[in-house]
Chain A
Amino acid sequence: MNTLPPIKIAVPANLQLSEGLREFVSNILRVVGFDQTWTNRLVLVVDEVFMNAVKYGSVENKSEVQLSFYPKQDHLFICIEDEGNGGKKVEVEELKGIISANEENNDLTKSSGRGLSLIVTNWTDNYEIEKSDQGGTRVNITKYYNTTDKTPVPTTDKNKKIITPRAVPHQPEDIFIYEFKAKYDIHSEEDKSHLLSTVENCGKKLVILDMKNVTYINSVFIGLITKVYNKLNLAEGMLALCNLSSQIEDTLNLVGLSNILILADNLEEAKSLILSR
């Protein structure tokens, strides 16, 4: 990837400028070295955050939105900041709550809410929302370069699965099994962070989530599973789920996650599938 100095621009808060901004961002991403797929994805990410900054954090044509791009050795860091003087101003904690509420809504026919909850969450490696020194909202985005080669582009053919043959076969001892505790609470921050931190620290790349104690999932949980999948995918690992209820399996099919996750009826089948990939 190309190492460049930071690139900073201030754009008047006006959505009419979005098209030009997208072109500019697209050029930066290409120069930094992202391929066309990730350039397109990150253009959409920046567009979504810019749109929110204009609508909720700005006075049209009077405020400015600051965009900064920091190409680092292994990742690109993007910072988008508004002045926080919009009429529909949303405080940082409130915005986080809105994102969380949108993540909980599984209704695909709803007319809003996908921008941050789906697009930014799934197409960045990390994002943070914080209050800026000027009292506005700052969104910090991290995207690692090396996922450009690994993430398969989703297709609408539900029967297509991308399988990369392994040079060295996996062994059973390479697998980490996570069993959700009885009465797992999908709303509990503690339970959510336990899953992420346990997978991060297990030292293994093949992870099976035993879902027998999980009776219900919502899009917060789906976002969590996606994060776990992305982390493992980054490390050339794999994620399988087993002992799913039919309801949960339907939900995963509906949102398309069954195209990228390994789903198994039981633990033994999960082990067998994950070892055969």
Chain B
Amino acid sequence: MSTNVKIDTMIVNNNPAIKLLVFNGQMDETNLENLSSILDKIINKEEHETRYILLNFKDLEFLNSKVIGYLASTYAQANELDKKMIIVEANQNINDILSLVGLTTIIDNYNSLTEALEFIATDNSDV
């Protein structure tokens, strides 16, 4: 039985270019596939309209290096396909971990969804 996590996905403001993933629980190697099955589809396969992938970590209690590694490599892949991953509302524990490993220097990180959407609005006026 893998670690408990719930990942809800939704489109933001009826805009298919912006997809929001909301995490609740803990992420580690045992349930990484829950995330990869969602993200791989968004980034590599079917969802061509999606340009921004927002990861809401407000209720994410834990993630380890296996998950961090997946996020880092997926970020790079997304970038190559002109898609952008953004972290929003990371709680203190998650921020602590992401800062230590330097992920906050490559993946944009906003304290609120509103701030992230403001950035997206200025990043690309077509969105």
Contacts and interface: CB of A to CB of B under 8 A. Distances in A.
Contacts of A110: 69, 72-73
B105 interface: yes
Contacts of B64: 44, 47-48, 51, 115
B47 interface: no
A123 B105 contact: no
**Interface SS of chain B:** helix
A154 B101 CA distance: 11
**Interface SS of chain A:** helix
Q: Name the interface size band of chain B.
A: 35 or more
Interface stretch (A35-43, A169-177, A186-194): A35-43
A111 B70 contact: yes
B3 A41 contact: no
Interface string A36-64: 11001101100110010000000000000
Nearest to A123: B100
Nearest to A112: B69
A232 B4 CA distance: 40
B38 interface: no
Contact of B26 (A22, A108, A113): A22
Interface string B87-105: 0001011011111111111
A36 B72 CA distance: 26
17 contacts: A16-B1, A19-B26, A22-B26, A40-B93, A41-B96, A44-B97, A48-B64, A108-B103, A109-B73, A110-B72, A111-B72, A118-B65, A154-B99, A155-B99, A156-B109, A254-B105, A256-B104
Interface of A: 15-16, 18-19, 22, 36-37, 40-41, 43-44, 47-48, 51, 108-115, 118-119, 122-123, 153-156, 253-256
